[in-house]
Amino acid sequence: MKLTKEQAQEIKDQQSQQNKTKRVTAPELEKILYEAIPVLDHGFVRVVDYMGDDTSIVQSARVSYGKGTKKVSTDSGLIKYLMRHWHTTPFEMCEIKYHVKLPIFIARQWIRHRTANVNEYSARYSILDKEFYLPSPDNLAAQSKSNRQGRGEVLEGNQAKEVLDLLKNDAEKTYKDYEMMLNERFDGTTIDENKKGLARELARMNLTLNTYTQWYWKTDLLNLMNFLRLRADDHAQYEIRAYADTMLDTLKKWVPTTYEAFMDYRVGGTEVSAKGKLIIQKLIKGENVNSEDSGLSKREWNELMIAFGLKDKLI
Amino acid sequence: MKLTKEQAQEIKDQQSQQNKTKRVTAPELEKILYEAIPVLDHGFVRVVDYMGDDTSIVQSARVSYGKGTKKVSTDSGLIKYLMRHWHTTPFEMCEIKYHVKLPIFIARQWIRHRTANVNEYSARYSILDKEFYLPSPDNLAAQSKSNRQGRGEVLEGNQAKEVLDLLKNDAEKTYKDYEMMLNERFDGTTIDENKKGLARELARMNLTLNTYTQWYWKTDLLNLMNFLRLRADDHAQYEIRAYADTMLDTLKKWVPTTYEAFMDYRVGGTEVSAKGKLIIQKLIKGENVNSEDSGLSKREWNELMIAFGLKDKLI
Amino acid sequence: MKLTKEQAQEIKDQQSQQNKTKRVTAPELEKILYEAIPVLDHGFVRVVDYMGDDTSIVQSARVSYGKGTKKVSTDSGLIKYLMRHWHTTPFEMCEIKYHVKLPIFIARQWIRHRTANVNEYSARYSILDKEFYLPSPDNLAAQSKSNRQGRGEVLEGNQAKEVLDLLKNDAEKTYKDYEMMLNERFDGTTIDENKKGLARELARMNLTLNTYTQWYWKTDLLNLMNFLRLRADDHAQYEIRAYADTMLDTLKKWVPTTYEAFMDYRVGGTEVSAKGKLIIQKLIKGENVNSEDSGLSKREWNELMIAFGLKDKLI
Amino acid sequence: MKLTKEQAQEIKDQQSQQNKTKRVTAPELEKILYEAIPVLDHGFVRVVDYMGDDTSIVQSARVSYGKGTKKVSTDSGLIKYLMRHWHTTPFEMCEIKYHVKLPIFIARQWIRHRTANVNEYSARYSILDKEFYLPSPDNLAAQSKSNRQGRGEVLEGNQAKEVLDLLKNDAEKTYKDYEMMLNERFDGTTIDENKKGLARELARMNLTLNTYTQWYWKTDLLNLMNFLRLRADDHAQYEIRAYADTMLDTLKKWVPTTYEAFMDYRVGGTEVSAKGKLIIQKLIKGENVNSEDSGLSKREWNELMIAFGLKDKLI
């Protein structure tokens, strides 16, 4: 991640603001506000604004519960209760806005979360930065043999080098040709005074999918957690997980009580089907159960055993 | 609007907060933050939180425009340009949260705006306040003769009094019976120690639709403007317009530049159909046009004439 | 549920259609298309249109999986896999439209599901039907002592009769006064030729919340299942559950394979928190665990025990 | 657009379906159902399912209007009225599903329309087709001088050839290296038996943005029109407009009455601001007005003049 001098200054200027407000604040989040937290080789995540804190959830829930909340007495108890019972609307009452720099192929996954507001840097109007994602060697994984959507072992030796060279050279070549077509270099200088430049909205099609883009992305706390549950998960692609993990840290600084409930009930929890419940009940009673008679598919059986630590991993 | 002593104190406590933040603030909006602004006879609108200001729109738009904004140089120019050309996403980057007290029949119209977050006071858990909307005499209008969904003249004399008596007596009677069924009065005292109370989720069905409810309602700036355009309009029912008008004032305090563009391009503007454009062109050229040959329906013709001040009102 | 002669004829006419189509059809659903299935005392649910069937889910998923679906060979296996792993988007590819008649206080709960399309019969334009929901005696429950949002024992004897009388008399009185204010009876006849009628948009506020309304409600299969999971659940209010149960039947006729997976993974399944998983693991190993040392709240402990049949019910 | 023999056969099979249904059908749309209509050099649009027709809009609106529709007597009149007055919900009652093949950089614009359901062919699971978009010579436009987001003159002679060569060669080179990294050719054959293939979710990042992808895309009629209004517009990028124009034809076949109203009120219409209305009024009265005193910016003035044919084009 390289910030230009101007960009670094702009961030510093925002961070030096000292405004007074009657709104609630999240002191831990204020500390890192506007900071560009590095992710992958050239990406970052910046929290640029937020609204509400843990108490805002309680406040909204108590409107909907009115006088009816005597039994769940503390804020923390109420937040856990809401999380456990999928009373989701109070979590929509907090909002957060990020500025994110990320490779285009990850942006394409990310954008599928529709309940968010987005403004992306437009390659129709502007020239994209000359930055491409190149995986670090330990993330250069082979296709998994057992899982069509997963990664297997890491590539080694020569092949790893070959792959990295291809990625690097192709990204640089296509970017160079992008500049050539635009008849303009990234720094704004013209290449050939006697030529026109191809329209930006066309030239961009020559870039590779590991080119970095950036956007403002704003969502409410509920939908942020939906995003994180899916994208900080083991099944998510490593590159988007890197972003989700960084954002999990910002969640903790913003709404610590909600974060705790989220880790317990969503991230660390599991779902059990009706058939799966019967298996677990038998296991608790000490009855004999096996995959064949379970009524579960082989894969389902494995997933259930792994979820409760009765088996090591999916074979 | 009656606030209890406790409610008034809670508002005062929130208003006395003096927090420091690095976020942008909207000074005029801060002045009225948490204040219960009266609407109708017992309702109110309170701004309880917000995120962003006019500069947040520009900031988001400039990410999507990158270096491409030199021509629209000032913030105000850019905001007007975005509004005019329906570049809507930058307006989604600001967020506002209201606490609203309103009659149930108005809440039922309001909730049709789906792109918002809502937590309503639950009559399943709690007893509703003993407050009903009774129109003031000058809002007690007869059914319009010409428009199935509109109001005509104001009712006068005896009939007005009769209507108000019916509304008042029925609301009080049904509320009294609501307490009776609950076997509990609004103040929490039990009516008959030897009886059970009917479940709240059932008893509420006896209340009339002018009973007041309340909710937290949060939305982004774009959807707030969509709401206000429809609900601050002449065609909207007076009672919801009263809320929209009050919220227009808060919009002005929050994002004054956006407010100005909104009034010019949306509220004060008009739409002209392809056929309507041809009529206007002829009128400008001084050509003779009349309703019969226009290709417009009688009603469309009237709407067009009124929009451009060529006719006084819909007859 | 009383249908007028005209309404019954209109339904019959729709049912007698014999159109040819290249689209997929759901034969079991076709059999009950347009039929008004009774719910509560005056309500109904009618399926009035639909798009897609079980194969549409597989078809969409196979686009996103391309050649990669060899392992999950059958349609049924794939649908179960998608359901279990929350691959939700293929389920959005089917759509259904209902015509529903329901009490207003239930409509207010229902409308909180925002991801749906709705057209409600407008009391601003038209006079509402003279029909009110009155619970049957075995649904006339007292407020629960242990659960602020629940029902307890059924009311008995005199008190039940008193409650039903209040509900009936208040609904009839307020409806009669509604007609009086409108100066028009439900059958369209004028009451007093010398009087104006109050605007419909105002008069409606005098009606009680058990008055029936009706709407067209359209949603996709994913959001229908989200609705049914919450509303066909034990914690849902009986009156909305009556609708959800009826709609579950239509789900089964429409997409039988999806229905089966839905019942197994969603309706009959359970969620276990990270802490809960540790308890279950200990129980399987035969270790001693008790509520006090579990790290769970009393309530959470109970919910866990009940979910796995280790305890009868919440005390 | 090349369809494989299997794909062509699958389409034929779907088209030969002769199902009976009680649902309404759109006969003109049925004729082209499943057909792959070519767009750009390798793309297509296929209508694969639909629900409802013009009468469905009227049917839904009449529920919300109840007995109140006597004045707008015909279906066509009502549809026009709904369109003109932004009574949008009845248009949400129809649904359509497309299968679309399109270049990735266009897919990235398209996906910003959030109110739709999407399943995209996944390059995480599968190998993408070896097809890239190459503009035809008359679409190879230079960057506009006056508009940062627009196109100017067409490139000519040598430069056009150079650009096309760069686009073609870079796409082919990066695709060849994609296969190399995967260690698998598009036809499924392995390149080097002694090597592992890089994970598909990684290798895809080497592809250029003009590579074709495909998806199922489903939306309701209202949101389809919102999409078409923006994307069939002159300001839209040519490549997405090509898709929008094709889809406009399918709209006409599906709901001809709605199509007509849409063309009149949305596509062919214009918006006039409050200030703009004053100018038009003066022009009609024959008063002298000019850009300088108008209160409009230079650009706004031009847009207004062009909208009413008083000026030829934006200079």
DSSP state of A116: S
The beta strand positions in chain A, using DSSP E, are 19-21, 37-39, 43-51, 95-103, 117-120, 141-143, 151-154, 212-220, 270-272
- Closest residue to B281, CB basis, from D77, D264, D309: D309
Nearest C-alpha of chain B: how many angstroms from A180?
Answer: 19
Asked whether residue C293 carries a pLDDT value surpassing 80, the answer given is yes
- The answer to whether the CB atoms of A174 and D177 lie below 8 A apart is no
- The answer to whether the CB atoms of C177 and B166 lie below 8 A apart is yes
- Contacts of C183-192 spanning 24+ positions with Cβ under 8 A: C184/C127, C186/C127, C186/C129, C186/C130
Q: What is the pLDDT of residues D273-311, one digit of tens each?
A: 999 999 999 999 999 898 988 889 998 999 999 999 888
- C124, two tokens: 């601003």
Report helix angle C298-307 to A75-84, nearest 10. 10
Residue found by looking up tokens 């040392």 in the block: C293
Separation between Cα atoms, residue C280 and residue C294, nearest integer Å:
11
- Closest residue to D60, CB basis, from C34, C68, C216: C216
Residues A196 and A217 both lie in one domain: no
A120 closest CA partner among B78, D203, D105, D215: D105
φ, ψ (nearest 5 deg) of residue B108 = -70, -30
Higher pLDDT, C63 or C55: C55
Q: What is the pLDDT of residues B217-233, one digit of tens each?
A: 999 999 999 999 999 99
Residues A294 and A152 both lie in one domain: no
Residue A117 lies in a domain: yes
Nearest C-alpha of chain D: how many angstroms from C289?
Answer: 44
Residues D80 and D192 both lie in one domain: no
Residues C235 and C301 both lie in one domain: no
Residues D146 and D39 both lie in one domain: no
- What pLDDT score does D161 carry? 94
Residue C157 lies in a domain: no
Mean pLDDT of B262-291: 94
Among all residues of D, which ones are annotated catalytic?
231
Sort residue A124 into left (φ over 0), alpha (ψ -120 to 50) or beta.
alpha
Do residues D109 and D217 make contact, with C-beta atoms less than 8 angstroms apart?
A: no
- What pLDDT score does D52 carry? 96
Residue B163 lies in a domain: no
C240 closest CA partner among B202, B216, B114, B179: B202
Residue C31 lies in a domain: yes
Do residues B177 and B197 make contact, with C-beta atoms less than 8 angstroms apart?
A: no
Q: What is the pLDDT of residues A68-112, one digit of tens each?
A: 344 445 788 899 999 999 999 999 999 999 999 999 999 999 999
Tell me, what CATH number does B103's domain have? 3.30.1360.170
Rg for chain D, CA atoms, rounded? 24
- What pLDDT score does D73 carry? 56
Asked whether residue C155 carries a pLDDT value surpassing 60, the answer given is yes
Binned at pLDDT 50, 70 and 90, residue A229 comes out as very high
Binned at pLDDT 50, 70 and 90, residue A232 comes out as very high
Residue C228 lies in a domain: yes
Do residues B29 and B234 make contact, with C-beta atoms less than 8 angstroms apart?
A: no
Q: Which chains touch B (3 or more CB pairs under 8 A)?
A: A, C, D
Report helix angle D157-182 to A157-182, nearest 10. 160
Considering only A310-314, B281-285, C215-219, C289-293, which range has the smallest mean pLDDT? Answer: A310-314
Considering only B146-150, C156-160, C232-236, C260-264, which range has the smallest mean pLDDT? Answer: B146-150
Separation between Cα atoms, residue D176 and residue D210, nearest integer Å:
15
- Closest residue to A284, CB basis, from C284, C297, C299: C284
Q: What is the pLDDT of residues D122-169, one digit of tens each?
A: 898 889 999 999 999 999 988 887 777 778 888 988 899 999 999 999
- Closest residue to C198, CB basis, from B105, B143, B149: B143
φ, ψ (nearest 5 deg) of residue A30 = -55, -35
Q: Which residues of chain C lie closer than 8 angstroms to B207, CB-CB? A: 208-209
- The answer to whether the CB atoms of A19 and B14 lie below 8 A apart is no
- A291, two tokens: 């995959």
Binned at pLDDT 50, 70 and 90, residue A171 comes out as very high
Mean pLDDT of D67-88: 75
Residue of A nearest to D212 (CA): A205
Q: % helix / strand / coil in chain C, to the nearest 5? A: 50, 15, 35
Mean pLDDT of C265-284: 95
Mean pLDDT of A212-238: 96
Query: What residue type is assigned to position A35 of the chain?
Result: E
- The answer to whether the CB atoms of A209 and D210 lie below 8 A apart is no
Separation between Cα atoms, residue D240 and residue B200, nearest integer Å:
55
Pinpoint the alpha helices (H) of C129-213: 157-182, 200-203
A81 closest CA partner among A94, A97, A100, A68: A68
- What pLDDT score does D68 carry? 34
- Closest residue to B117, CB basis, from A65, A122, A220: A220
- What pLDDT score does D313 carry? 59
- In sequence order, the β-bridge partners of residue C272 are A270
- The answer to whether the CB atoms of A202 and D151 lie below 8 A apart is yes
Number of domains in chain B: 2
Contacts of A143 (CB under 8 A, 6+ apart): A151, A152, D182, D196, D197, D198, D199, D200
- What pLDDT score does D315 carry? 46
Nearest C-alpha of chain C: how many angstroms from D292?
Answer: 47
- What pLDDT score does C145 carry? 79
The most confident of A65-74, B198-207, C298-307, by mean pLDDT:
B198-207
Do residues D185 and A182 make contact, with C-beta atoms less than 8 angstroms apart?
A: no
- How far, in whole angstroms, is CA A193 from its chain's centroid? 43
> Active site residue: A148, A151, A231, A241, which one?
A231
Residues B41 and B105 both lie in one domain: yes
Do residues C202 and B141 make contact, with C-beta atoms less than 8 angstroms apart?
A: yes
Q: Which residues of chain B lie closer than 8 angstroms to C167, CB-CB? A: 181, 205-206
Query: What average pLDDT does chain D have?
Result: 91
- What pLDDT score does C64 carry? 38
- Listing DSSP states for chain B in one string gives ----HHHHHHHHHHHT--EEESS---HHHHHHTT--EEETTTEEEEEEEEE--HHHHHHHHHHHHTTTTSSS-SHHHHHHHHHHTT--GGGGG-EEEEEEEEEHHHHHHHTT--SSEEEEPPTTTSPPPS-B----GGG-EEEPSS-TTSEEEEP-HHHHHHHHHHHHHHHHHHHHHHHHHHTB-TTS-BS-TTSPPBPHHHHGGGSBTTBEEEEEEEEEHHHHHHHHHHHSSTTS-HHHHHHHHHHHHHHHHH-HHHHHHHIIIIIS-EEE-HHHHHHHHHHHTT----GGGSSS-HHHHHHHHHHTTSSSS--
What number is the ipTM of this complex?
Answer: 0.93
Query: What residue type is assigned to position A197 of the chain?
Result: G
Q: Is residue A170 exposed (0-12), middle (13-18) or buried (19+ Cβ within 10 Å)? A: buried
Nearest C-alpha of chain C: how many angstroms from A204?
Answer: 25
Contacts of A194 (CB under 8 A, 6+ apart): none
Report helix angle C75-84 to C54-65, nearest 10. 70
Structural domain of C280: 274-307
Chain D residues with a Cβ under 8 Å from any Cβ in chain B: 65, 68-69, 71, 77, 80-81, 84-86, 89, 112, 148-149, 230, 235, 263-265, 267-277, 280-281, 283-284, 286, 297, 299-300, 303, 307-310
- What pLDDT score does A64 carry? 38
DSSP state of A16: T
Do residues D217 and D116 make contact, with C-beta atoms less than 8 angstroms apart?
A: yes
What pTM was computed for the model?
A: 0.95
Binned at pLDDT 50, 70 and 90, residue B313 comes out as low
- C72, two tokens: 């999950």
Contacts of C284 (CB under 8 A, 6+ apart): A280, A283, A284, A308, A310
Residues A42 and A59 both lie in one domain: yes
Residues A93 and A242 both lie in one domain: yes
Name the percent of chain A lying above pLDDT 70. Answer: 95
- The answer to whether the CB atoms of B23 and A17 lie below 8 A apart is yes
- Closest residue to B121, CB basis, from A17, A59, A66: A66
Asked whether residue B76 carries a pLDDT value surpassing 80, the answer given is yes
Binned at pLDDT 50, 70 and 90, residue C313 comes out as low
Do residues B278 and B297 make contact, with C-beta atoms less than 8 angstroms apart?
A: no
- The answer to whether the CB atoms of D30 and C49 lie below 8 A apart is no
Pick from B146, B191, B205 the residue to mutate for testing the C interface (most C CBs within 10 Å).
Answer: B205
Residues C106 and C56 both lie in one domain: yes
Residues D103 and D237 both lie in one domain: yes
Contacts of D142 (CB under 8 A, 6+ apart): A196, A197, A198, A199, D151, D152, D153, D154, D155
Do residues A270 and C304 make contact, with C-beta atoms less than 8 angstroms apart?
A: no
- What pLDDT score does A104 carry? 98
Considering only A179-188, A262-271, D141-150, which range has the smallest mean pLDDT? Answer: D141-150
- The answer to whether the CB atoms of A271 and C274 lie below 8 A apart is no
Residue C19 lies in a domain: yes
Separation between Cα atoms, residue D210 and residue C122, nearest integer Å:
50
Q: What is the pLDDT of residues A196-211, one digit of tens each?
A: 999 999 999 999 999 9
Q: What is the pLDDT of residues B2-58, one digit of tens each?
A: 888 888 888 898 899 899 999 999 999 999 999 999 999 999 999 999 999 999 999
- The answer to whether the CB atoms of C140 and B108 lie below 8 A apart is no
Which helix (H) or strand (E) is D254 found in, with range? helix D238-254
Residues C36 and C89 both lie in one domain: yes
Residues B298 and B261 both lie in one domain: no
Residue D122 lies in a domain: yes
Residue A85 lies in a domain: yes
Q: What is the pLDDT of residues A108-160, one digit of tens each?
A: 999 999 999 999 998 988 899 999 999 999 999 888 877 777 788 889 888 99
Nearest C-alpha of chain A: how many angstroms from D86?
Answer: 24
Pick from A161, A192, A193, A208 the residue to mutate for testing the D interface (most D CBs within 10 Å).
Answer: A208
Q: Which chains touch C (3 or more CB pairs under 8 A)?
A: A, B, D
Contacts of C43 (CB under 8 A, 6+ apart): C1, C100, C101, C102, C103, C133, C212, C242, C243
| Pair type for strands D95-103 and D43-51 | antiparallel
DSSP state of D312: S
- The answer to whether the CB atoms of B269 and D264 lie below 8 A apart is no
